[in-house]
Structure 1
Amino acid sequence: MKIETWLTPNAAGQSERAPASVAVVIDVLRATTVATTALSAGAKSITTCGEIEEAFAMKTAADPENKPLLCGERGCQPIVGFDYGNSPGEYSPAGIGDRDLVLTTTNGTAAIQAAQECEQMWLACFANLSAVIDRLVKWHAANPNEASFARIVCAGTNGCVTTEDVLLAGAIIAMCHQRLADSPRFYDGPIELLNDSGAIALSAWQHCITHDGVNSSETLAERLKLTQGGKNLIAANYAGDLVDCGSIDVFELVPTRDQRSPARFVAG
């Protein structure tokens, strides 16, 4: 399996971005966790956009009998006039079941836009980690083409690398190796890292396990408190979201793009 990793959405110049077979977009705190939670709670679809004005325009243009719910944040805070913010705990079946959502966030939806040149796009978080690995392994088995590769895209924060996204990228790489390899030694194959960012992410995850003692959802949530994204949420009074975002393998679905522009995701 060939894997290319972007530690931020602007990791490569536009001219250098060859279309990926699969793009796996990560925004642990909190967009991809929210998307996974919402679809698991029964939302019909999630359409993403980059600007607040676009979200309002989508709602205005929608069928009066099927107006979408507006969801998202700016600077960690809910957006005035929106129905929901960006906390996973807000998304319950009673509130969003069988509804279409429009989501715009500071970093996650921008990463989705930056990664759009791909055949398939999935959203990953710790809460659906094993489901993402299952999808990648199945995709790899069905795509022996030498040119096929998966791209992991970390949303980061305001253009900067964030530890929480790098850790999940590393976990995805490590778990794909565990599922596909005969040897515990990573560089014995069968994962081929197409750039050094993947090796950096893998090392960060391995360090997190061996030195930071992360071996459960509880210890991961504690580790997330130490990241810049975690500190931002704590300062904005959203420390409770770190428990939801650090929960591992809560959901079995993977948000899957079924429309490119604007990008729309359904349960996969």
Structure 2
Amino acid sequence: MAKINVILRKEDLDPSFLHDKVAVVIDVLFATSSIVTALNQGAADVYPVLNRQMALETVRNFVKDSYILSGEQHLHSIAGFSAYTPLALSRQSLQGRSLVYATTNGTVALRQADSAAHVYVAALLNAPAVVNQLQQHKDQTLVLICSGSAGRVNLEDLYLAGYLIEQLSAQSSDHWQLTDTCQIALAVYRQYDSPEHCLRQSQLGRVLALTEMDEEISYSARLGCIDLVPKFKGASLQVA
């Protein structure tokens, strides 16, 4: 019987644990939502990086105008970089260009997960497509990695993990062995009548709702509006 495990926050992740497993990285507000949106808007690929310095080093040998730099540190846009939220990114000229993307939590989790056999990106936007993709890995352990926020567990990430577990279990009820953290994620998911209800109840969602990012919360809660799954291929994320 294959196993599903949930990592509650990136700080709990041991990269050596992932070497033969399938990792799914989650950061609903906003890293994974932005990555999914960028690829859906025609970006050639996405390079997840840790910070501004790593972003600049990544593009050192890129052709001019072939990339966009985007990112945040502690919810503040990085100086000189494009906006980092999904709707704001969707208004950029992304077609055929690489997005080099740095965030405080989501891209850090992605870099920590790159030792896994396969690494996928999940947002609410593409969650049904992720469920379908994971059906190809029924004989491997799945590790759902909630990025969290600076060491704290995020409600919205756990909610999405619970959705994925619920859908996978519904399709193959006797196939998956669930860990205790899976049961926690399921309990969180089953508390809410809609994704947006959860996002707006979360600590981060409540903070963002008081800013100009309120529209970004509603967008990021749109379940299944994008039918693609980003996957690590070499150093960048591309459509699987």
For the superposition of Structure 1 and Structure 2, which TM-score range results when normalised by the shorter chain? Answer: over 0.9
Normalising by the residue count of structure 2, what TM-score does the alignment of the two structures yield? 0.93
1:164 is matched with which residue?
A: 156
1:186 is matched with which residue?
A: none
2:60 aligned with 1:60: yes
Partners of 2:142 and 2:236 in 1: how far apart? 20
1:33 is matched with which residue?
A: 33
Aligned length: 239
The 1:113–1:200 alpha-carbon spacing in structure 2 relative to 1, beyond 3 Å, is: same
2:233 is matched with which residue?
A: 258
Q: 2:144 aligns with which of 133, 144, 152?
A: 152
Rg (Cα) greater in structure: 1
In the TM superposition, structure 1's runs of 4+ consecutive aligned residues that sit over 4 Å from their partners are 12-15
Structure 2: 5+ residue runs without aligned partners?
Answer: none
2:177 is matched with which residue?
A: 192
Write the letter of the residue equivalent to 1:201.
A
1:10 is matched with which residue?
A: 11
1:45 is matched with which residue?
A: 45
The 1:168–1:99 alpha-carbon spacing in structure 2 relative to 1, beyond 3 Å, is: same
Task: Map 1:106-185; keep pairs closer than 5 Å.
Answer: 106-140=104-138, 144=139, 148-181=140-173
Secondary structure of the 2:209 match is helix
Whether contact under 8 Å (2:232, 2:238) holds in the other structure is yes
Normalising by the residue count of structure 1, what TM-score does the alignment of the two structures yield? 0.84
Q: 1:248 aligns with which of 212, 223, 226?
A: 223
Q: Over residues 11-47 of structure 1, what are the superposed CA-to-partner deviations in whole Å (9 max), with x where a residue is unaligned?
A: 24566x2424210000000000000001011000001
Task: Map 1:84-103; keep pairs closer than 5 Å.
Answer: 84-92=82-90, 95-103=93-101
2:214 is matched with which residue?
A: 239
Partners of 2:133 and 2:15 in 1: how far apart? 27
The 1:18–1:56 alpha-carbon spacing in structure 2 relative to 1, beyond 3 Å, is: closer
Partners of 1:228 and 1:125 in 2: how far apart? 18
Whether contact under 8 Å (1:121, 1:257) holds in the other structure is yes
Partners of 2:58 and 2:123 in 1: how far apart? 26
Partners of 1:4 and 1:154 in 2: how far apart? 11
Whether contact under 8 Å (2:83, 2:89) holds in the other structure is no
Secondary structure of the 1:61 match is coil
The 1:18–1:53 alpha-carbon spacing in structure 2 relative to 1, beyond 3 Å, is: closer
Partners of 1:93 and 1:241 in 2: how far apart? 13
Partners of 1:5 and 1:104 in 2: how far apart? 24
1:22 is matched with which residue?
A: 22
Secondary structure of the 1:3 match is strand
2:76 aligned with 1:77: yes
Partners of 1:191 and 1:122 in 2: how far apart? 19
Whether contact under 8 Å (1:42, 1:93) holds in the other structure is no
The 1:38–1:14 alpha-carbon spacing in structure 2 relative to 1, beyond 3 Å, is: closer
The CA RMSD measured in Å over matched residues stands at 1.7
Partners of 2:130 and 2:6 in 1: how far apart? 15
Secondary structure of the 2:152 match is coil
Q: Over residues 163-187 of structure 1, what are the superposed CA-to-partner deviations in whole Å (9 max), with x where a residue is unaligned?
A: 0000000100000011112xxxxxx
**Percent of counterpart pairs with the same letter?**
28
Structure 1: 5+ residue runs without aligned partners?
Answer: 182-188, 215-219
